[in-house]
Amino acid sequence: MPKMKLDSIQTNLVMNNLDEEGKLTCLKAFKVARLIGKKPSEMALVTKDLNIKITNCELGVFGKLKFNDADFTLYKNMSNKLDINKKIECKSAWNYAQKSTLRNVGSTTKNTDIEVTYCQLGCFRERKGHASKS
């Protein structure tokens, strides 16, 4: 797997955006990608090379974010565009957030049978099983 070489300025920008646990949140990872001149899809490699974890997926795939109940109107709209496996790519889910909110979309994917695939940050392609509902 290729390494992501960062200069000291880029490294400092990453480190200055870590949370109190020394992790980079999903939203901050998008911001940092822009700041350091990398594609969002390269951020998983960047953080791996720095031994940093990306956390708090806005769509509920991983992390400790709290979500509301699913929005079943949104669920129905999203389900109409999905295949039989109920999979949606991360980027497509974020597109639904433009007509709703990211939190609403995250609550819906976290608390239903919709499976998010192909993380825009490169953290995962597909997940094995559905995250716990706790």
**Judgement on whether residues 12 and 51 belong to the same structural domain of the protein:** yes
> Is-contact 68 110, C-beta < 8 A?
no
Looking at the structure, do residues 51 and 90 belong to the same domain, yes or no?
no
Residue 128: is its pLDDT beyond 70? no
pLDDT of residue 133: 41
- If one counts the domains in the chain, the total is 2
More confident residue, 81 or 62: 62
Residue 100 has pLDDT above 60, yes or no: yes
Q: Residue 19 class from Cβ within 10 Å (0-12 exposed, 13-18 middle, 19+ buried)? A: exposed
Predicted confidence (pLDDT) per residue in 105-123, tens digit: 999 999 999 999 999 999 9
The percentage of the chain sitting over the pLDDT mark of 90, rounded to a whole number, equals: 86
In a domain, 60, yes or no: no
Domain with 46 in it: 8-55
Co-location of 17 and 44 in the same domain: yes
Question: Is 64 within a domain?
Answer: no
pLDDT at 83: 80
Cβ within 8 Å of residue 123, ≥6 positions away: 44, 54, 57, 61, 62
Q: CA torsion sign, 120 to 122 to 126 to 127?
A: negative
3-state secondary structure of 87: strand
Q: What whole-number distance in Å separates Cα of residue 4 and Cα of residue 75?
A: 37
Q: How many residues does the chain have?
A: 134
* Same domain flag for 50 and 76: no
